[in-house]
Amino acid sequence: MRFLTNNLCRYARDRNEPSAHATSNLSPYLHFGQISSLHVALKVRGYAEEHQLVATEFLEELIVRRELSFNFCRFTPHFDSLDSLPNWAQATLKKHAKDKRDPTFTARQMEHCETYDPLWNATQKELMLRGRMHGYYRMYWGKKIIEWSQTHEEALEFMIAMHDRYALDGRDPNTYVGILWCFGLHDRPWVERPIFGQIRFMSYEGMKRKTGVDAYIREIEYVERTGKELM
């Protein structure tokens, strides 16, 4: 109900701003079957019609993207492998498999948030503290792991391991598809660069331009220090 009354009206505008808290946070409950996606969709549609709101963006993610993930995992034999990527993504990753990585971090260093990147460290802390991570920053989290890992395969293995260990919505079709998106699944080729090839790249400066990075970092620091939420 909180999402309907407080967040739906601003979801389209603020959903990619983690510090705005405009998302529903229903993923764990959907994952464990504690609430039905159909029930959520009907409630959101009904509330939107009653209050003259536009719920298109939320319903598209809840229905279309979720079904896309479930269908991918249902009909893809190795949905947790880079072998399931489209041909162009596999080819570009293979071409750049031996590119120099500098710096690199071990799985232990990344798990313990020991990188130079304060935003990435905050996303990893959020995963461990809350059992979830904002979807937009999860993309950045995954991209940096690709950049810092010795191989693309090691990057994939680490991402899956972290979700298996900490995420309340881990071991879910949305998890595997979200992780593989970082490697080019359901995306298109971009400008070629080292390590990534034609896979989409995301940078710290880009995140600062698009989102309130400093506010997010302060929030996670507060949660870590106090064990409490700001809201």
Q: The domain spanning residue 36 has which CATH number?
A: 1.25.40.80
Structural domain of 123:
82-226
Asked if residue 213 and residue 130 are part of one domain, the reply reads yes
User: For residue 63, what pLDDT band results from cuts at 50, 70 and 90?
Assistant: very high
User: For residue 230, what pLDDT band results from cuts at 50, 70 and 90?
Assistant: confident
Asked if residue 26 and residue 49 are part of one domain, the reply reads yes
Q: What is the pLDDT of residue 231?
A: 65
**Burial profile 200-221: b = 16 or more Cβ within 10 angstroms, e = fewer:** bbbeeeebeeebebeebbebbe
Tell me what the pLDDT averaged over the chain comes to: 96
Give 107-130 pLDDT, tens digit per residue.
Answer: 999 999 999 999 999 999 999 999
Alpha helices, DSSP H, located in 182-229: 204-210, 213-226
CATH number at residue 136: 1.10.579.10
Task: Give the end of a domain, one of 60, 75, 90.
Answer: 75
Cα(16)–Cα(224) distance, rounded to whole angstroms?
Answer: 22
Asked if residue 106 and residue 60 are part of one domain, the reply reads no
Q: What is the mean pLDDT of residues 129-152?
A: 97
The residue ranges of DSSP E strands in the chain, in sequence order, are: none
Cα(4)–Cα(222) distance, rounded to whole angstroms?
Answer: 27
Task: Give the end of a domain, one of 75, 92, 124.
Answer: 75
Reference 74, options 147, 156, 174; nearest CA is 174
Asked if residue 173 and residue 94 are part of one domain, the reply reads yes
- Tell whether 131 is covered by a domain: yes
Give 25-37 pLDDT, tens digit per residue.
Answer: 999 999 999 999 9
Q: What is the pLDDT of residue 184?
A: 98
Q: What is the pLDDT of residue 22?
A: 95
pLDDT of 83 above 90: yes
